[in-house]
Amino acid sequence: MGYGRVQLDGKYGFVDATGAVTIEPIYDETDDFQDSQADLIAPNFGLTGDDEDILAIVLVGTHYGAIDKTGKFVIEPIYTNDFGFDCGYARVYIDDKCGYIDATGAVVIPIEFDFAYQQGDFFVARRDDTAYAFDETGQVIFSITGDDLDIDDVSSDVIEVYDAERHEHDFLFPNGRRIRGCRRNRLVV
């Protein structure tokens, strides 16, 4: 059975398809329930995912967390951004640092980076002058340091990093192999 958001006296909660309140309106803001394992937001009614995968992001004061369909916190409201799940992972912030969590709230990529994003089977993150690539378990595949690094493109097979200081592109692979020095359509291996 699906759920719809309801607002009462400036607070949000949820009702079922019959209009009965299922989660009391106690939250400052809520998103719709979504399947945390899917790559698309599910509609309000008729969610089809497993119950443990159905979550709603809620705002409590100034922090966000996630509740299940009973209203129990699965992810405590400690994050300073509204977040959503993509294939089981969500980018979250605590103040100006970000990382990734899974749908149980477990930290996958430490929340200590200036930016981070997920692409395919990789997570890429940057802190100061070092860029990191992580696998889906949070293990560092490689790191690269440079003042003017720009991670241009990521696919499930390769990460392209531009080093402005050298004016070259490096290609980094999941097995840790690095091909350096693509400049002016010339590749140096």
Tens digit of pLDDT for each residue in 1-38? 468 899 999 999 999 889 999 999 999 999 988 887 75
150 and 124 Cβ atoms separated by less than 8 Å: no
pLDDT at 46: 41
Say if residues 82 and 59 touch (Cβ distance below 8 Å): yes
d(CA 107, CA 115): 15
Element (H, E) at 41: none
What pLDDT is recorded for position 131? 81
| Per-residue pLDDT tens over the stretch 121-141 | 678 888 887 888 888 888 887
Task: Output the average pLDDT for the chain.
Answer: 78
pLDDT per position as a tens digit, 140-179: 877 777 655 555 544 555 666 666 666 676 666 656 666 6
pLDDT of residue 161: 66
Burial class (CB in 10 A: 0-12, 13-18, 19+), 40: exposed
Q: How many whole angstroms from its chain centre is CA 145? A: 24
